[in-house]
């Protein structure tokens, strides 16, 4: 955790979820509607097909709804893409950009990720900018160099603690059940904090840095307690309300 920084527990449903999954959104909206919401934010990023209905189901709840990607342009001839404005129009508040699956499936570069974050900001959305090293990069001792480069190139100038969230997701930890050690996470987050503070001064000292990669109810409390870990970006365990809420509720003990 970081002093005076409000944690964010965010779920990324990836390419999962049809209308049948809306019951999970309803349960999450009800589950986060309690005293912990005064201290901890909760966000779910369902597929774009469910975005509008999901926001309608959570209007009376502190649960926020976001999207998983946006195009870098405001509008135009880009078949199959969605714009940041379209997300805002559906009452989405956040958009994930630069997830490692987009970087690998769609060859997204740091330069493109930065443009997408700028598009998100132009639509008054908070950009959740994902970074993280691959297994090979880690093995060859390049982790911090990769994080430095991705932060420098993917995060736009002028980013603020309000409009930007960093999500550190080691690629090898995504969907594998593997996580770095607490010491490794602490070192990576301390490094990112220092990089952000040197570039963005006060904004960099309070910009949220989430950890993502095999976060589960069983390890959430230990991982979220790490210094400079300001929440989680959860994949698989965010699909079920009971698991997502268990991760969110890990903050009951941490914020007591
Ligand atoms: P898992 O939690 O399934 O490992 O996925 C993490 C992730 O990629 C979230 O964006």
Residue 206 has what pLDDT?
98
Domain boundaries, the chain: 8-14+39-234
Q: Using 50, 70 and 90 to split pLDDT, how confident is the model at 94?
A: very high
Residue 213 has what pLDDT?
98
CB 118 within 8 A of CB 158: no
- Active site residue: 108, 169, 189, 195, which one? 169
CB 161 within 8 A of CB 206: yes
- How does pLDDT run across 224-233, given as a tens digit for each residue? 999 999 999 9
Q: What residues are in contact with ligand 1 under a 6 Å CB criterion? A: 12, 99, 169, 174-175, 212-215, 233-237
183 is catalytic: no
- How does pLDDT run across 183-212, given as a tens digit for each residue? 999 999 999 999 999 999 999 999 999 999
User: How many whole angstroms separate alpha carbon 164 and alpha carbon 185?
Assistant: 20
Q: Which CATH class is domain 8-14+39-234?
A: alpha beta
Q: How far is the CA of 169 from the centre of ligand 1 (A)?
A: 8
Tell the residue nearest (CA) to atom 9 of ligand 1: 235
Q: How far is the CA of 204 from the centre of ligand 1 (A)?
A: 24
What tokens does 96 get?
């994930």
- How does pLDDT run across 18-75, given as a tens digit for each residue? 999 999 999 999 999 999 999 999 999 999 999 999 999 999 999 999 999 999 999 9
């Amino acid at each position: 955790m970081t002093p005076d920084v409000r944690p964010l527990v965010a779920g990324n449903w990836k390419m999962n979820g049809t209308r049948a999954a809306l019951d999970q959104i309803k349960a999450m909206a009800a589950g986060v509607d309690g005293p912990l919401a005064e201290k901890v934010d909760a966000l779910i990023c369902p597929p774009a097909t469910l975005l509008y209905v999901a926001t309608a189901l959570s209007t009376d709840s502190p649960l926020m709804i976001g999207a998983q990607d946006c195009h870098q342009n405001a509008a135009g001839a880009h078949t199959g893409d969605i714009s940041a404005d379209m997300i805002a129009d559906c009452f989405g508040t956040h958009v994930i950009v630069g997830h490692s699956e987009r970087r690998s499936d769609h060859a997204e570069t740091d330069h493109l990720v930065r443009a997408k974050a700028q598009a998100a900001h132009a639509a008054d959305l908070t950009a959740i900018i994902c970074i993280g090293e691959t297994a090979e990069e880690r093995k060859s001792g390049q982790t911090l160099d990769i994080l430095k480069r991705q932060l420098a190139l993917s995060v736009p100038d002028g980013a603020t603690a309000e409009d930007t969230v960093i999500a550190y997701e080691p690629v090898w930890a995504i969907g594998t059940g593997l996580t770095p050690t607490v010491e490794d996470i602490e070192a990576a987050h301390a490094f990112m904090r220092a990089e952000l503070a040197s570039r963005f001064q006060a904004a960099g000292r309070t910009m949220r840095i989430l950890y993502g990669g095999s976060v589960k109810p069983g390890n959430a409390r230990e991982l979220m307690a790490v210094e400079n870990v300001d929440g989680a970006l959860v994949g698989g365990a965010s699909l079920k309300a009971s698991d997502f809420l268990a991760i969110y509720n890990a903050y009951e003990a941490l914020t007591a």
